[in-house]
Amino acid sequence: MSHEIKKPEDIQIPPSSFLAKLPILGGIMAVAGLGATLGSAFGEHKARAMFSYLWAFETVLAVALGGLGWLLIDHTVRSGWGVVVRRFVETTSATLPVFILLWLPIGFLGFHELFPWSHESDPILLKKAWFLSPGFWYGRSFFYLVVWAALGWWLYSTSIKQDSLSGDENAPQREKLIHTIRKVCAAGLPLYGVTLSFGAIDWLMSLQPHWYSTIFGVYYFTAGILAFFAFVTLMSMAAQASGALKTAINTEHFHDLGKFMFGYTIFWAYIAFSQFVLIWYANIPEETEFYMVRMEGGWQYISYGLPIAHFFVPFLFMLSRQIKRNRSFLAFGAVWTLVMHCVDIYWLVMPNYGAHGEGGHHEPHLAPSYLDFTALLGMAGVFLAVYGVLLNRNKVVAINDPRLPESLAHENY
């Protein structure tokens, strides 16, 4: 049956469409947002600006890393259904090199303000000094960023190379390329898992250096890949609204994207509850510190609200098959998921400013700032600008992938 299916011809973003203007719009957002945020980082509110910057960085980075994770898994298991949306995934992960530059303010401008272990010492920190030493920390951070950037860019550029291998005479080359990609992804998966986990430990968990959780890396991965599926769903819809892949991406593919959002919503809740209940049951001071600072000063409202707004609401909303097959409802669910993702990462980062902000140790309190808005605006702007440039310069579907016919014929049963 697959040989009867015609390949799509609407495989470029039209120049007059919204997505074609994404690089310019993203660039404006980036200049305005990061200019205001980093400008404040050189003033009296440096610590507050850097915490907002770190929050925005981790929020947007999680989406790009979620795309890389799914891409590695997708190739390793030889998935076929998602080929028609995979270029959106590859473009997401191909933005990872720019995060090397975006990380520099964290590592060099706000290092002292963000990480208390960089200038404090006590018996617990002395035992962790070998790990939380600046030289080792910088070396690890550079390694994570380079690994992610190399994997993301290689997978993207290799897929683009495949676009030029048309015709039956190039079939062996296409199959060889697919086999090479599979081997790289299989080897890259454990490397991805380790670097993502330690990246979450070094840049998020060490904001509260006494605290530790053995599943925090999984928590961050789950948050990221859930947000990624919401993002790629919206980008697929935006591409169709722009005039590309109008029939290639159909209800069956959106149904599967909805199922992934639904599934990872449950997985996020499972990991979040597992982390909480194990810490609550053990009642070890070094562990309970994480939740204690989030149960006062207004943070308790987010702590109680996250299980409801980030799990029960989307769980019940996305439970129905009809919801996942209705594009308007699915788009609403994706937007809701992205908003909750921002709140979730905010809840991880910002209470630490209350405990270690300007003026030293004091009681944490929920106090949103305009810097939160400008930081997220700027960080999302950089991401969308780079994403837009990469998406517009190439075909929006892996047109010569041997599994494309399987994806075009995909059905849910």
Q: Centre a 10 Å sphere on the Cβ of residue 172 and count the other Cβ atoms it contains.
A: 10
Give pLDDT tens digits for 367-388.
Answer: 999 999 999 999 999 999 999 9
pLDDT at 61 over 50: yes
Sign for the pseudo-dihedral over CA of 38, 39, 45, 46: positive
Domain-embedded: residue 26: no
How far apart are alpha carbons 234 and 250 in whole angstroms?
Answer: 14
Average pLDDT over residues 13-37: 96
Asked whether 353 and 48 are in contact (CB, 8 A), the reply is yes
Domain-embedded: residue 17: no
Domain-embedded: residue 336: yes
Average model confidence (pLDDT) for the chain?
Answer: 93
Average pLDDT over residues 313-329: 96
Residue whose entry in the numeric block shows the structure tokens 């030029």: 164
User: How many domains, in total, are found in the chain?
Assistant: 1
pLDDT at 361 over 50: no
Average pLDDT over residues 68-89: 95
Q: What is the pLDDT of residue 360?
A: 45
Domain-embedded: residue 28: no
The separation between CA 96 and the C-alpha centre of its own chain, rounded to angstroms, equals 10
pLDDT at 105 over 80: yes
Question: Quick one: pLDDT band at residue 2, thresholds 50, 70, 90?
Answer: very low
Domain-embedded: residue 335: yes
Domain-embedded: residue 38: no
CA angle 96, 102, 107 (to 5 degrees): 120
Model pTM score = 0.95
Average pLDDT over residues 218-239: 98
Domain-embedded: residue 1: no
Q: What is the pLDDT of residue 355?
A: 67
Give pLDDT tens digits for 108-159.
Answer: 999 999 999 998 888 989 999 999 999 999 999 999 999 999 999 999 999 9
Sign for the pseudo-dihedral over CA of 294, 298, 300, 306: negative
Q: Centre a 10 Å sphere on the Cβ of residue 244 and count the other Cβ atoms it contains.
A: 23
Structural domain that includes position 212: 45-404
Q: Centre a 10 Å sphere on the Cβ of residue 283 and count the other Cβ atoms it contains.
A: 8
How far apart are alpha carbons 131 and 375 in whole angstroms?
Answer: 29
Q: What is the pLDDT of residue 358?
A: 46
Domain-embedded: residue 345: yes
> From start to end of 130-198, where are the E strands?
none
For residue 269, what is the enclosing H or E element? helix 251-282
End-to-end CA distance of the chain: give it in Å, rounded: 17
